Amino acid sequence: MDQKNKFMNPYLAGVLLGFVLLATIYITGRGLGASGAMKSVAVTTVKATSPDHYESTAYYQDYAADHPDGPMKSWLVFEMLGVLIGAFLSGALSGRLGLKLEKGPGVTNTTRIIGAIIGGMLFGFGSQLGRGCTSGSALSGMAVMSFGGIITMLAIFGGAYALAWFFRKLWITR
């Protein structure tokens, strides 16, 4: 299979994502999101590793009250499992399954890994400050014409464009 046929047409993928988002809003009454699943995993981990802390913290008790069947039975957990399985199947079927570290020529493996970890932690922290990840805040918010969703999307792309200039030397050879 040649390189240009390994990926789905981005316009078709965007339309399909829009239909998935529309179906999710129609079926569940809320949009897509990933950070809720991570929160369920974190709450379950705290409960398993430090039950005394879990029982004595109001946040966890409020979370448990909102999830009477348990945090791991949240539909967001199953959504994320579906995303992981779908990504694996997509990579396997298109011949793109494998581990590789993508980086620019001026970046060492260690710098790339440390940068990815710090970026992931900052993104996770930001998703909690913003009460949701980009999927929930921006995509789902814009789908229902939420002013906050539109501002979030503008901030995400504006921030990326503003910071890209500072990091461009890590990815280009000139």
Q: What does the pLDDT profile of the chain (174 residues) look like in tens digits?
A: 455 557 788 899 889 988 888 888 888 887 777 778 888 888 999 999 999 999 999 988 888 888 888 888 888 888 889 989 998 998 888 888 888 888 877 788 998 899 889 988 888 888 777 777 776 777 888 888 888 888 888 888 888 888 888 877 766 655
Q: C-alpha distances in angstroms, 25 versus 76, 113, 133, 139, 148?
A: 13, 36, 16, 11, 17
Residue 122 CA to residue 113 CA, distance in Å, equals 14
What pLDDT is recorded for position 1? Answer: 45
pTM of the predicted structure, to 2 decimals: 0.68
Angle at CA of residue 79, ends 22 and 25, nearest 5°: 20
Residue 58 CA to residue 38 CA, distance in Å, equals 19
Residue 106 DSSP symbol: T
Which pair of structure tokens corresponds to residue 30?
Answer: 């809320």
Domain ranges of the chain: 1-98, 102-174
Torsion 137-141-147-153 (CA) sign: positive
